[in-house]
């Protein structure tokens, strides 16, 4: 059985992280996909970290070393689904960050701009496109928070929690 591994993080020192945690009622504020073999973390970030600009990029795992909350899960899938997930994920490299979409969370609106993404939206879309999550799983996809995605994936009987630190 193949799997997709996701890394969720949170911070008690970052104001942005604390705001996302408060809004989504949970300890995590960001999610990356963990690339097999390389360990690179693929995700959309507003800040310029890990030697990459804003947007959806692979970054070295060392960029999250100081985070206070870290949860890693493995979501089982078929080998073809795993290949599809990584094909989609790699194609998304360089996608601009959807800062308007994040800002709209606080106003209960959908200000998503096509061709942009934030972290949990990108992972959700890639999981759905690969057939790992049903396409109609999230009613309001533009409001998928990292905590919502973590909750949905760990509610599956087959998801394994590999690491739970700080929460």
Question: Does the structure show a pLDDT above 80 at 5?
Answer: yes
Per-residue pLDDT reduced to its tens digit, 15-27: 677 777 777 778 8
Q: What tokens appear for 5 in the block?
A: 């591994």
**The pLDDT value given to residue 140:** 59
Question: Are the CB atoms for 40 and 158 separated by under 8 Å?
Answer: no
Orientation of helix 119-129 relative to helix 79-91, angle to 10°: 140
- What whole-number distance in Å separates Cα of residue 74 and Cα of residue 101? 27
Average pLDDT, the chain: 90
Tell the residue number behind the tokens 């396409």, with chain if given: 135
**The pLDDT value given to residue 161:** 97
**The pLDDT value given to residue 20:** 76
How far CA 114 is from CA of 17, 90, 118, 136, 143, in Å, comes to 24, 18, 12, 19, 15
Question: Are the CB atoms for 102 and 159 separated by under 8 Å?
Answer: no
Angle at 126 between CA 154 and CA 47, to 5 degrees: 90
| Domains in the chain: ranges and CATH | 2-165 (3.90.1720.10)
Whole-structure pTM value: 0.92
Q: Are strands 2-10 and 30-34 parallel, antiparallel or unpaired?
A: antiparallel
pLDDT > 90 fraction of the chain, expressed in percent and rounded: 63
**The pLDDT value given to residue 111:** 86
Per-residue pLDDT reduced to its tens digit, 55-91: 999 999 999 988 889 999 999 999 999 999 999 999 9
Tell the residue number behind the tokens 């990292």, with chain if given: 146
The DSSP letter of residue 117 is B
Per-residue pLDDT reduced to its tens digit, 28-44: 989 999 999 999 999 99
């Amino acid at each position: 059985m193949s799997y997709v591994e996701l890394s969720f993080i949170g911070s008690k020192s970052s104001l942005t992280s604390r705001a996302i945690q408060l809004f989504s009622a949970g300890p995590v504020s960001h999610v990356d996909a963990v690339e097999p073999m390389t360990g690179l973390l693929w995700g959309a970030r507003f800040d310029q970290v890990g030697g990459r600009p804003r947007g959806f990029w692979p970054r070295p795992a060392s960029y999250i070393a100081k985070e206070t909350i870290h949860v890693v899960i493995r979501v089982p899938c078929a080998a073809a689904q795993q290949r599809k997930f990584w094909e989609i994920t790699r194609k998304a490299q360089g996608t601009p960050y959807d800062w308007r979409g994040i800002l709209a969370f606080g106003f209960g609106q959908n200000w998503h701009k096509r061709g942009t993404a934030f972290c949990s939206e990108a992972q959700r879309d890639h999981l759905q496109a690969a057939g790992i999550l049903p396409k109609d799983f999230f009613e309001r996809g533009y409001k998928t928070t990292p905590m919502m995605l973590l909750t949905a994936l760990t509610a599956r009987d087959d998801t394994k929690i590999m690491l739970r630190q700080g929460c």
